[in-house]
């Protein structure tokens, strides 16, 4: 059988014009694209550049380093340390459940809380996640490589002395702005001015390059306080010990420097740690300048100055306190016993209410009031710290005999521990007033004479008898130094008038008496355990702090006292 012969059908060849048409189409498309590119590059260059920059270029603030706060010897009291803050752009948030869990765990944020925060701010471009965290934690967050998550360098305030300087320095908030104390009072100079730069970012929000520095940050100014950290520490330790041992409500202590008016120390109890979040904001107030109390017998030296300045009395004058009480209008004023005739020095030494009341009633109606007003009572000291109280010195007390008598021994008006210290500063300076300062002074400021120098010096010397063995404050004596001061034990006002169970224990003192280097006021508010008097509660604090302070200030002991002569 013969094999069948197969034939192949030959495919038709496409016409040549199709090939050229296809080439023409491609060539035309290429020309159109090129033309469009040229047009965009020429006619719409500015628009496209602006759109690209809007998506990749950002302006970023450069934080300014807050000024350092130093004590008078250059010890740092408040410094700023670099920290990182984490933020996110919720619009770019496409985090998985696992990524949210990892982020919440690293930042110690509840996962559900984080989810709600992201959902709530979905339309926003910037939301803080955590502010001012440790750089090590920030590195862990960065290692997660999460979309939309970025960092900002900031500064966090750190206080090396902790509670010791808390009330004086105050704190800053999360934005590094002062909200209390020195930090608030001098915030404008401490804060500085942030800088500004232009940066290039990728689509995840990470900085790729710094394009331009538009304005450098202006660093905050440093502050040199008048405070001596050594004295601040002594004062803090002894005040805390006294408040705890006497189960007291609170306490304050102020030390001023005669000759310059500088504040050497200012402490309060209870205190707080400024390096930790503060839960009880009432603890933040500087009680030494905000809280007012009736000063009790601590103002008796000023009453004696008022009497001596009238010219009707001399330092050697005698007041008869027999039979141990005196009736003034509706009020019977008593001493613990009949002390008979007392010189001015003995009036202070025994703290006689009867003698002071008799003197007050024999003086012109406004004599004591005017002396207290000259000493600075009833107006703030001008120290410049936030929250300072002016106290209360009502002029109406001059019209009522009872009020005039009680005013003379410290009732019927109120003041702060700092105001009382300012009054004693004038006594220490021989009747001269110095404006107070919390900043270190290079030279003494202009002064104002308040009281006669001879009279004020006489009264200052009388204060030494108060700390003698038969005075009201032998526990205020400082070995090796002649010191002086005055106790005060004032009853506090309750719902039914003066409360015999609640007291304020005071001691205001000067050391040394013949060449004053420190003026100190100690207040223990409502001691509940043990004695309650200023001589037993506040005077020992003065002695312990003054002893350490005088050594720290290199004040040489008095040779006669070291030999056993004198007090």
Q: Which residues form the catalytic set?
A: 297
Half-sphere exposure of 169 (CA within 13 A, CB side): 33
Q: 290 with 389: CB under 8 angstroms? A: yes
The whole-angstrom separation of Cα 318 and Cα 361 is 15
In 216-322, the DSSP E strands lie at 223-224, 250-257, 262-269, 318-320
The whole-angstrom separation of Cα 309 and Cα 558 is 31
The whole-angstrom separation of Cα 161 and Cα 180 is 17
Residue 464: left (phi > 0), alpha (psi -120 to 50), or beta? Answer: alpha
Q: 506 with 541: CB under 8 angstroms? A: no
Cα torsion 357, 363, 365, 368 to 10°: value is -70
The whole-angstrom separation of Cα 228 and Cα 72 is 6
The whole-angstrom separation of Cα 518 and Cα 515 is 9
How many residues belong to the chain?
567
Backbone Cα Rg of the chain: 38
The whole-angstrom separation of Cα 496 and Cα 229 is 43
DSSP 149-209: EEEEEEEEEE-TTGGGGHHHH--B-TTS-B-SHHHHHTHHHHH-B-EEEEEEE-TTS-EEE
Report CA-CA distances (Å) from 499 to 490, 491, 502.
10, 6, 6
In 361-450, the DSSP E strands lie at 432-433, 448-449
| Residue (of 87, 209, 73) closest to 138 by Cα position | 87
The whole-angstrom separation of Cα 37 and Cα 552 is 81
DSSP 338-376: ---EEEHHHHHHHT-HHHHHHHHHHS-TTHHHHHHHHTT
N- to C-terminal Cα distance for the chain? 155
Q: Using alpha carbons only, what angle is made at residue 386 by residues 384 and 391, rounded to the nearest 5 degrees?
A: 85
Write the burial class of residue 389 (CB in 10 Å: 0-12 exposed, 13-18 middle, 19+ buried).
middle
Q: Using alpha carbons only, what angle is made at residue 171 by residues 168 and 175, rounded to the nearest 5 degrees?
A: 155
């Amino acid at each position: 059988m013969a094999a069948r012969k197969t034939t192949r059908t030959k495919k038709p060849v496409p016409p040549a014009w199709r090939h050229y048409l296809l080439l023409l189409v491609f060539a035309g498309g290429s020309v159109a694209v090129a033309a469009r590119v040229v047009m965009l590059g020429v006619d719409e260059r500015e628009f496209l550049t602006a759109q690209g920059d809007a998506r990749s270029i950002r302006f970023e603030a450069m934080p300014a380093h807050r000024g350092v706060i130093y004590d008078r010897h250059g010890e740092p009291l408040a410094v700023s340390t670099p920290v990182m803050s984490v933020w996110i752009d919720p619009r770019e948030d496409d985090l998985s459940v696992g990524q949210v869990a990892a982020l919440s765990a690293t930042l110690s944020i509840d996962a559900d809380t984080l989810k709600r925060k992201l959902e709530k701010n979905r339309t926003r471009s910037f939301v803080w996640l955590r502010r001012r965290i440790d750089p090590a934690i920030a590195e862990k967050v960065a290692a997660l490589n999460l979309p939309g998550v970025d960092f900002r360098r900031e500064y966090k305030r750190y206080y090396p002395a902790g509670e010791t300087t808390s009330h004086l320095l105050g704190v800053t908030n999360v934005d590094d702005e002062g909200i209390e104390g020195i930090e608030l009072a001098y915030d404008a100079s401490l804060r500085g001015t942030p800088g500004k730069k232009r940066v290039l970012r990728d689509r995840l929000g990470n900085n790729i390059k710094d394009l331009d520095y538009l304005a450098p940050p202006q660093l905050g100014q440093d502050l040199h306080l008048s405070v001596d950290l050594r004295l601040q520490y002594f004062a803090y330790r002894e005040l805390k010990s006294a408040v705890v041992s006497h189960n007291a409500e609170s306490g304050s202590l102020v030390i001023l420097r005669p000759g310059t008016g500088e504040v050497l120390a200012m402490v309060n109890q209870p205190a707080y740690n400024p390096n930790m979040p503060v839960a009880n904001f009432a603890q933040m107030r500087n009680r030494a300048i905000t809280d007012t109390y009736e000063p009790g017998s601590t103002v008796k030296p000023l009453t004696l100055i008022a009497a001596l300045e009238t010219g009707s009395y001399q330092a050697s004058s005698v007041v008869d306190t027999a039979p141990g009480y005196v009736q003034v209008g509706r009020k019977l004023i008593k001493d613990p016993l009949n002390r008979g005739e007392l010189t001015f020095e003995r009036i202070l030494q025994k703290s006689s209410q009867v003698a002071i009341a008799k003197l007050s009633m024999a003086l012109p109606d406004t004599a004591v009031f005017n002396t207290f007003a000259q000493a600075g009572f009833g107006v703030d000291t001008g120290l410049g710290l936030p929250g300072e109280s002016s106290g209360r010195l009502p002029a109406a007390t001059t019209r009522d005999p009872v009020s005039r008598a009680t005013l003379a021994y410290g009732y019927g008006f109120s003041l702060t521990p700092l105001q009382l210290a300012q009054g004693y500063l004038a006594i220490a300076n021989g009747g001269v007033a110095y404006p107070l300062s919390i900043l270190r002074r290079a030279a003494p400021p202009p002064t104002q004479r308040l009281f006669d120098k001879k009279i004020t010096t006489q009264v200052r010397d009388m204060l030494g008898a108060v700390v003698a063995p038969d005075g009201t404050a032998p526990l205020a004596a400082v070995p090796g130094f002649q010191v002086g001061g005055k106790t005060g034990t004032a009853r506090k006002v309750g719902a039914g008038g003066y409360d015999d169970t609640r007291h304020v224990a005071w001691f205001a003192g000067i050391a040394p008496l013949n060449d004053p280097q420190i003026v100190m006021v100690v207040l223990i508010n409502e001691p509940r355990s043990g004695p309650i008097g200023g001589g037993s509660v506040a005077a020992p604090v003065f002695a312990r702090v003054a002893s350490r302070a005088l050594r720290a200030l290199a004040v040489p002991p008095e040779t006669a006292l070291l030999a056993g002569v004198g007090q």
